[in-house]
């Protein structure tokens, strides 16, 4: 799995400090590339982001930004700015390492919250991209490690087809954030990154599995989750492989892939659930799910499927959800029935169930 956490924050900050220290004798009052801020103001913005992300997590903020900010002392120069970036980066990396699993804090994009991995990825992205903005304005070359760029793309930009080679990772990240061009792709005038969605569902929470975690699950890893005995089951790994292939092909769409079913009480993953892809031209999306043997028969799947279906059917253009089940799988048929699905015409040798708004 492409890691994202305290180590990556520290690596990004060390890279930025090295690049920026080569510019301390230049004029930081000029506008940073593509921004309205000066280079010094852009550095201050980097530090503000790092410390505010740390504050969101430590303050467990759920309904807005913790109301504070930092500012450079009057008369601070480039060297001072770099020291503040290093200090605030250290704060965020420490907080990310010590934040318990399952903790989420307010961030507006796109669902109103992010977990520690999300804040780490956003922090790395802010450091890499705004270091580039400063360096570009000052005429200094800046290209961060390809592995950092690849990880940011996989955690924050699941809708963007990944680069095929390590040499193209930075160019892809620049394109994804409206800072560059790529052959065959239109230049972006606006963009947003994507923090993974979490859907409360009674005793479980559906946690969206981004491509970085899906790749690890497909390869036999844990995807960053703590699994119940016997998990993840084979269907979950197959679903993760589908997400991985869709991402590599550029057709993966956030929120229409895979979710891990995690018990709210102890943060143990008990299964997987999600969609076979985004809705088709008729607005129909197919659902699937899979629980570890030790978690079956306890109602987890019904609670999760009802919550996931309710949310999916509230989205514009979605006309119905489809579940296709083997005739002998009576427990699964009971799950969909309890979740509001009704039987429709069979699909070849399987039974089909649909739920509509």
CATH of the domain at 48: 1.20.120.450
CA distance 174 to 269: 35
Instruction: Tell me phi and psi for residue 291, to 5 degrees.
Output: -115, 145
pLDDT of residue 348: 87
CA distance linking residue 314 with residue 51, whole number of Å? 36
Let me know if residue 282 belongs to a domain.
yes
Q: Do 93 and 224 fall into the same domain? A: no
- The pTM assigned to this predicted structure is 0.96
Query: Could you tell me if residue 188 is inside a domain?
Result: no
Q: Are residues 34 and 172 in the same domain?
A: yes
What pLDDT, on the 0 to 100 scale, is given for residue 1? 64
Same domain, 132 and 207: no
**Of residues 322, 1, 4, 357, the one with CA closest to residue 193:** 4
- Say which CATH number the domain at 274 has: 3.40.630.30
Q: Are 230 and 283 part of one and the same domain?
A: yes
Strands 284-291 and 320-325 turn out to be: parallel
Same domain, 217 and 125: no
List the chain pLDDT tens, one digit each, 357 residues: 689 999 999 999 999 999 999 999 999 999 999 899 999 999 999 999 999 999 999 999 999 999 999 999 999 999 999 999 999 999 999 999 999 999 999 999 999 999 999 999 999 999 999 999 999 999 999 999 999 999 999 999 999 999 989 999 999 999 999 999 999 899 999 999 999 999 999 999 999 999 999 999 999 999 999 999 999 999 999 999 999 999 999 999 999 999 999 999 999 999 999 999 999 999 999 999 999 999 999 999 999 999 999 999 999 999 999 999 999 999 999 999 999 999 999 998 899 999 999
Give the per-residue pLDDT at 119: 98
pLDDT digits (tens, 9 = 90+) for 83-105: 999 999 999 999 999 999 999 99
The answer to whether residues 45 and 14 belong to one domain is yes
Per the structure, the count of domains in the chain is 2
Return the structure tokens found at 270: 């008990």
Domain range for 162:
6-176
Looking at the fold, whether 117 and 259 belong to one and the same domain comes out as no
Please indicate, yes or no, whether residues 171 and 205 belong to a single structural domain of this protein.
no
Q: Does the bond joining 355 to the residue before it have cis omega, within 30 degrees of 0?
A: no
Last residue of a domain, one of 176, 210, 242: 176
Q: Is residue 191 part of a domain?
A: no
Q: Is the domain of 48 the same as that of 150?
A: yes
Residue 184 belongs to a domain = no
Specify if 1 maps to a domain.
no
**pLDDT tens digits, one per residue of 274-311:** 999 999 999 999 999 999 999 999 999 999 999 999 99
Let me know whether 349 and 203 are in one domain.
Answer: yes
Answer yes or no: do 170 and 23 share one domain: yes
Residue 192 lies in a domain: no
In this structure, the answer to whether residues 133 and 239 fall within a common structural domain is no
Q: With left for phi above 0 and alpha for psi between -120 and 50, is residue 294 left, alpha or beta? A: alpha
Do the domain assignments include residue 297?
yes
Looking at 141, 176, 211, which one is the last position of a domain?
Answer: 176
Q: Which of 110, 142, 176 is the C-terminal boundary of a domain?
A: 176
At 198, list the tokens. Answer: 């979490």
Residue 193 resides in a domain: no
- Residue 14 host element (H or E): helix 6-21
């Amino acid at each position: 799995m492409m890691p994202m956490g305290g180590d990556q924050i520290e690596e990004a900050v060390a890279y930025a400090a090295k690049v920026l220290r080569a510019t301390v004798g230049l004029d930081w009052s000029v506008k940073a590339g593509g921004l309205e801020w000066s280079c010094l103001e852009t550095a201050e913005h980097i530090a503000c982001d790092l410390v505010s992300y740390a504050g969101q997590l430590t303050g467990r903020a759920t309904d807005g930004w913790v109301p504070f900010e930092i500012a450079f002392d009057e008369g601070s120069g480039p060297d001072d700015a770099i020291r503040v970036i290093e200090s605030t980066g250290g704060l965020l990396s420490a907080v990310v390492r010590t934040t318990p699993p399952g903790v989420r804090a307010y961030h507006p994009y796109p669902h109103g919250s992010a977990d520690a991995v999300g804040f780490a990825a956003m922090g790395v992205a802010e450091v890499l991209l705004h270091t580039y903005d400063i360096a570009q304005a000052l005429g200094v070359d800046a290209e961060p490690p390809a592995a950092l760029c690849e990880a940011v793309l996989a955690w924050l930009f699941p809708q963007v087809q990944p680069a095929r080679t390590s040499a193209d990772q930075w160019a892809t990240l620049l394109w994804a954030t409206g800072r560059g061009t790529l052959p065959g792709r239109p230049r972006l005038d606006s963009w947003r990154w994507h923090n993974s969605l979490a859907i409360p569902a009674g005793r479980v929470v559906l946690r969206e599995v981004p491509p970085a975690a899906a790749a690890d699950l497909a390869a036999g890893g844990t995807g960053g989750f703590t699994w119940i005995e016997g998990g993840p089951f084979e269907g979950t790994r197959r679903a993760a492989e589908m997400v991985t292939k869709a991402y590599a092909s550029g057709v993966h769409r956030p929120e229409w892939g895979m979710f891990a079913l995690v018990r709210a009480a102890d943060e143990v993953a008990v299964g997987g659930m999600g969609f076979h892809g985004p809705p088709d031209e008729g607005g129909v999306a197919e659902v699937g799910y899979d629980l570890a043997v030790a978690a079956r028969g306890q109602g987890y799947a019904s609670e999760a499927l009802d919550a996931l279906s309710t949310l999916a059917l509230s989205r514009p253009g979605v006309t119905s959800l489809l579940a296709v089940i083997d005739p002998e799988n009576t427990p699964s048929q009971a799950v969909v029935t309890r979740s509001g699905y009704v039987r429709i015409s069979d699909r070849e040798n399987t039974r089909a169930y649909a739920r509509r708004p």
